[in-house]
Homo-oligomer: A and B are copies of this chain.
Amino acid sequence: MAQDTILLAHGSGGTLMRRLIDEVFVTGFGDAGSPALDDAATLEIPDGRIAMSTDTYTVSPLFFPGGDIGRLAVCGTVNDVATSGARPLYLSVGFVLEEGLPIADLKRILVSMHESANEAGVRIVTGDTKVVERGHGDGVYVNTAGIGTLAPGVSLSGSHCKPGDVVLLSGTLGDHGIAVVSIREGLEFSTDLRSDAAPLNHLTAAVLQAAPDVRCFRDPTRGGLASTLNELAGASGVSITVEETAVPVRSQVLGACEMLGYDFYQVANEGKMVAVVPADQADAALEAMRSAPYGEDAAAIGSVAESPAGSVYVRTSFGATRIMDMLVGEQLPRIC
């Protein structure tokens, strides 16, 4: 189109908006996800029970090593739907564009969403775009909502963890948070560290097949593993202890956390899954995780005990035990 930046009129419901939809969105999304031009998409659901989730993505900057806001928006919601044990099928997408956004940036984000949706095997079926005045946004905010189907009998919840269960983690901690903050702050250590943003629905499906009694999945995003485990311990009324020596984490992440004063247990991940499984299915679940995409570094990192209810501990390499606290206050704003 003639304009190469977003104008307020692109959000007006008029002809410029129609051209944006026709020329940018439909082209950018390609076959896998042309949002229907009717106001709602009509979808086939092969099963009577579904899971639904939503997230809005405000990450800054929009593009970072290993991903961008588009990949994040597809993978994040796919992963949230997958945590329920569902098979993600459909996404909606809602954009808030800031006046002045280069249309080339929007196209790049749409292509990334398209590719990530293809990889996850989901379709983007409906969408909406609003434009706000310069200075009232930050380039692009993206909301995605996702739905998926639940097989009969699948009922996972963060409140289902039981004493004796094993805690699995699908790979290294902190890659996303440190990759984003490093480019944001212009830090040098970041050169070879990339965000882990990835769709994990194939991984959760493999684990669920190998360990049908899996208690729950959680993706440790904002607030990191610490928030995830504290939420699970609270919801289930159990105690969780993590063996620090078993936790996969890259040396660059450790170094960056030391430099910046972060606790890597509290740093956001966008391509990692926690699974809590009964002990007798832990080996099968871990093997399935390691064989699945993005699960090669998976490890059994901890275990569930009865008390003290709601508490999470880390046992260090020296054998000492400390509390794994939830994040208090703000560590990394706009990380996802």
Q: Chain A residues in contact with chain B, CB under 8 A?
A: 7-9, 11-18, 37-46, 48-58, 80-81, 83-84, 86, 90, 92-96, 125-133, 135-138, 141, 143, 145-148, 150, 155, 157-158, 216, 218-219, 221-224, 227, 231, 235, 266, 268, 326-334, 336
Contact = CB atoms under 8 A, between A and B. Distances in A.
A330 B12 contact: yes
Given A42-B155, A147-B147, A12 B51 contact: no
Contact of A41 (B52, B138, B141, B143): B52
Contacts of A45: 45, 48-50
Contacts of A50: 42-43, 45, 50, 147
Contacts of A143: 54, 56, 94, 128, 143, 145
A138 B147 contact: no
Contact of A330 (B7, B130, B333): B7
Nearest to A156: B38
Question: Which label, helix, strand, loop or mixed, suits the secondary structure of the A interface?
Answer: mixed
Given A8-B333, A143-B94, A138 B132 contact: yes
B80 A53 contact: no
B51 A48 contact: no
Contacts of A15: 326-328
Contacts of A332: 12
Contacts of A54: 92-94, 126-128, 143, 145
Contacts of A93: 54
Oligomer: number of copies: 2
Contact of A42 (B51, B125, B218): B51
B17 A223 contact: yes
B84 A38 contact: yes
B46 A131 contact: no
Contact of A136 (B9, B138, B336): B138
A285 B332 CA distance: 55
A144 to B, nearest CB: 8
Contact of A334 (B14, B42, B132): B132
Contacts of A12: 222-223, 327, 329-333
Contacts of A138: 132, 136
A292 B297 CA distance: 59
Given A12-B333, A58-B130, A39 B157 contact: no
A86 B40 contact: yes
A253 to B, nearest CB: 18
Given A96-B56, A128-B54, A330-B9, A223 B14 contact: yes
Given A14-B329, A94-B56, A48 B49 contact: no
Interface centre among A8, A44, A56, A266 (most CB of B within 10 A): A56
